[in-house]
Chains A and B, each alone.
Chain A
Amino acid sequence: MVLEVKKPRPLWEIIFSTHHTDIGLLYIIFSVTFLMMGGALALAIRAELFLPGQQIIPDPATFHRFFTVHGTTMLFLWAIPFAAGIGNYLIPILVRYKDMAWPKLNAVAFWMLPVGAGMVWLGFADLGWTAYPPYSIIRAPGPAAELWIFGLKILGLSSILGSINFVVTILRCKHPDLPIMKMSLFAWSILAISFMQLVAIPTFAAALIMTYTDRLGISGFFNPALGGDPIAYQHLFWFTFHPEVYIFLLPGVGMLYEMIPKFSRKPIYSYQSGVIAFMLLSTIGFASWAHHMLAVGMSFTEKTVFMVGTLAAVPASAMHVFNWIATMWGGRIKFAAPMLFGIGAILLFFASGAGGVVNTALPLDFITHDSYWVVGHFHLILMGTVSLTFTGFLYYMFPLITGRMYNEKLAKIHFAAAFTGIIVVFMTQHVLGLYGMPRRYFDYVPLDEWIAMNQIASTGAWVVGASYLLMIYNLIKSSAKGVFANMKDPFNIGEIYYDYRRREPIH
């Protein structure tokens, strides 16, 4: 089952396969492709904002399309499919089952993604990834908006099918000799996000249909002219998408629990506290959605409730951080590339978590709301924590997928450039927000501070972009010409690597 470019299998054999490693591989290739495509849009946005005035993007409407598709791509075509891909690869191995519970359903779930992705990219809508009404229902041009709506419906359905498969595989197909409290924490994280998706996504699916009928003019759920309330949409939207933040994050947390003990050559400090923190985050994550809406004109009581709900999620995240640091403490750490990415991600997780506390503290929210602070904040968690972890784990999985080793030196350069770049872009954007620059601006007032900070941010973004191109080069070249990995212990750390060879692949 090892994908070796030197011993290629016919393409159709991979494409029509229902084996979990093949589908996992397709998920990973798909998501990394869209990471690069979404990244290209981000670099265009940063080039446009390098100087005030119109630069490389011809008009504001195109700029709005760029940030909409960038956001949609990074969240639904990179973060979620990558986690699903790693889950596909590892969950059957970690719970010791021959495949996913329903292999054909698994393939169906994957093949819905290119359809949804095609609709989002062909439509190239300008709604903003949040698609707030009334703009999305009375002003956004079709058919781009319709394609976006139905693209997201398909992506949502794919996530639901994937989640059902994961829940059943983990809970019903787990080897009888493996008690659930001995199961890998990565499997716990996939279990947690699968349940969260099953609860969260239907709300947004309903909101999408209501938006669509509102656009047709046959209903007025969110249209004030027909007696609807645009704020109702925001509640439905964030009831899905605040938990979704944890759906992006928790697989990364699980991956760190896979990597950190191995590269530290120590057992996890406290397995139970990891499990408890997963349970806490996946439930409290549902109690804080309206902190995205503190400025829509809610009552003082509502604002207080959602501030408390948000702050309540912090100790559980802090438990994870504590667990990782305590695991590394006193270990003989091997600083291979995946571990470096992991450590970088933990540092930035701490920073973005602290920024989140600032956002939710009520009077401060009115300084940071809808400014570049917010852009810096959520990119710090999604790029700095989630994507760095995912990237590190991609390197960690590379020998398992290809049977060869990637170039360690290039991977370390990638880490150094990406980590520095991310800090330069997103920390600068925090400060830019405090100087009052709103997000989603095609052009800005030519204040010296704004220009300087935008230029620093753009430069950092190009460093990150270049580092990811280096990763693509490294991965493609190494999968064809890299040295063969020692599959028992490819990183020479004296710990057991994933062993899937004892299970015969089914074809």
Chain B
Amino acid sequence: MGHATIEWVYVGAVSALLIWVGSAAWDVERVLEHVPPDAQTIKVIGQQWFWSFEHADGTKEINELHVQKDTPYRFEITSLDVNHNFNVPDFTILMDAVPGRINTLWSQFDQEGVYLIQCREYCGYSHYNMKAQLFVEPKLETAAAETAAAPAVAPAVEEQKPTGDVTLTILEGAATQGNPDYDPKELSLKQGQTILVDNVDAMPHTVTSGEGPSDTNSGKLFDTSIINGGESAILETADVETGTYNYYCTVHPYMTGTLKVE
């Protein structure tokens, strides 16, 4: 082993490089782990296959998250069914959402705009379509923020249960693949009649025109957007020409049905 010196030099150089990379990474991560004390908490809940958010003041959002620019936020991330991963690639936000655990992560947004929130941990059928939008809005001054917040505490308007000409029920347990979903599966009505979509399931659902998430014309004819569990929505058919249309649920694309407009 007379020629060992050169190998020792080489191994030493590689090790020195790795020590440099490791300590630089450690140093950055040490700073990133430190959550600013004035950070606002947002609860993030992943479920098959949608994201729900709850702000510190109790406001809840589904598949949309509104935040203010230059404000530190602390995300408390969890899941209610299988593993998900809360990911905003534009801001390098990435953390697993694991049922039974609350993972935390903080971030601050320095550019206004609309950004993609996606799921990065395989979670089943609609994993690729578990998307949400992040709206980064201008920072409100404190006084303005109070005024803006005022309507939120205004006395609740007496809720009127909407009515429609025909009723489409989303059955309990519809979120599980294979269970009965829409009732009736084939809904017939006259053009111009309104549909009351009543979601009696505990999960959010939609009634969206199209064949599925890959259909480029999806939602162009009619779309209820998200209806939370236990809530209902009205679907107008005045602009829909006569014919038979397929619809599905954007959250659970295996839920499908047809609408016959006469």
Contact = CB atoms under 8 A, between A and B. Distances in A.
Pairing of A with B: yes
Interface of A: 52-54, 60-61, 64, 126, 128, 132-135, 138-139, 224-225, 228-231, 269-270, 272-273, 295-297, 300, 303-304, 307-308, 311, 314-315, 318-319, 322, 326, 357, 361-364, 366-367, 369-371, 435-436, 438-445
A322 B5 CA distance: 13
Interface in B1-30: 1, 3-4, 6-7, 10-11, 14-15, 18-19, 21-22, 24-26, 28-30
A444 B83 contact: no
Nearest to A358: B21
Interface string B67-87: 000000000010001110101
Contacts of B116: 436, 445
Contact of A135 (B4, B26, B82, B101): B82
B90 interface: yes
B87 A438 contact: yes
Interface string B227-257: 0000000000000000000000000010000
Interface in B207-228: 212-214, 216
Interface in B27-71: 28-30, 32-33, 48
Nearest to B121: A370
Given A296-B96, A300-B29, A230 B129 contact: no
A366 B106 CA distance: 13
Nearest to B100: A224
Contacts of B94: 295, 366-367, 369-370
A326 B4 CA distance: 11
Contacts of B83: 132, 134-135, 230
A260 to B, nearest CB: 16
B95 A135 contact: no
A228 B30 CA distance: 30
A54 B213 CA distance: 9
Given A363-B28, A367-B92, A308 B127 contact: no
Contacts of B30: 300
Given A270-B1, A295-B94, A315-B18, A370 B120 contact: yes
Given A295-B96, A297-B103, A319 B7 contact: yes
B122 A297 contact: no
Given A304-B29, A326-B6, 10 more contacts: A60-B128, A61-B125, A128-B122, A138-B81, A138-B82, A229-B100, A270-B3, A273-B7, A308-B22, A443-B129
A346 B7 CA distance: 18
Contacts of B19: 311
Contact of A297 (B15, B29, B96): B96
Q: Which 10 A-B pairs have the closest CB atoms?
A: A436-B89, A224-B100, A297-B103, A361-B25, A362-B29, A441-B128, A370-B120, A135-B82, A54-B214, A224-B99
Nearest to B216: A53
Contacts of B6: 326
Contact of A231 (B101, B104, B131, B212): B101
B124 interface: yes
Interface residues of B, number: 59
Contacts of B200: none
Contacts of A52: 214
A230 B87 contact: no
Given A318-B11, A366-B92, A438 B119 contact: yes
A229 B85 CA distance: 17
Contact of B18 (A132, A300, A314): A314
B123 interface: yes
Interface in B99-117: 99-101, 103-104, 116
B126 interface: yes
B22 A361 contact: yes
A362 B26 contact: yes
A17 B167 CA distance: 71
A307 B25 contact: yes
A230 to B, nearest CB: 6
Highest count of chain A CB atoms <10 Å: which of B1, B85, B94? B94
Nearest to A127: B122
12 contacts: A230-B99, A296-B103, A297-B101, A311-B18, A314-B18, A315-B11, A326-B6, A361-B24, A363-B25, A370-B121, A436-B116, A439-B120
B175 to A, nearest CB: 11
Contacts of B253: 60
Highest count of chain B CB atoms <10 Å: which of A61, A135, A307? A135
Contact of B122 (A134, A135, A300, A366): A135
Given A135-B124, A270-B7, A273-B7, A297 B25 contact: no
A318 B98 CA distance: 36
B118 interface: yes
A326 B9 CA distance: 14
A364 B25 CA distance: 8
Contacts of B129: 443
Contacts of A364: 25
A337 B114 CA distance: 52
Contacts of A440: 122, 127-128
A315 B122 contact: no
A273 B6 CA distance: 12
Contacts of A371: 89, 120
B214 A135 contact: no
A86 to B, nearest CB: 28
A309 to B, nearest CB: 11
A53 B81 CA distance: 27
Contacts of A269: 3
Contacts of A304: 26, 29
B81 A134 contact: yes
Contacts of A314: 14, 18
B26 to A, nearest CB: 6
Nearest to B28: A363
A135 to B, nearest CB: 4
Highest count of chain A CB atoms <10 Å: which of B32, B103, B116, B121? B121
A152 B221 CA distance: 48
Nearest to B33: A300
A194 B244 CA distance: 63
A307 B22 contact: yes
Contact of B124 (A54, A139, A224, A225): A139
A42 B116 CA distance: 28
Given A230-B100, A315-B11, A318-B10, A444 B95 contact: no
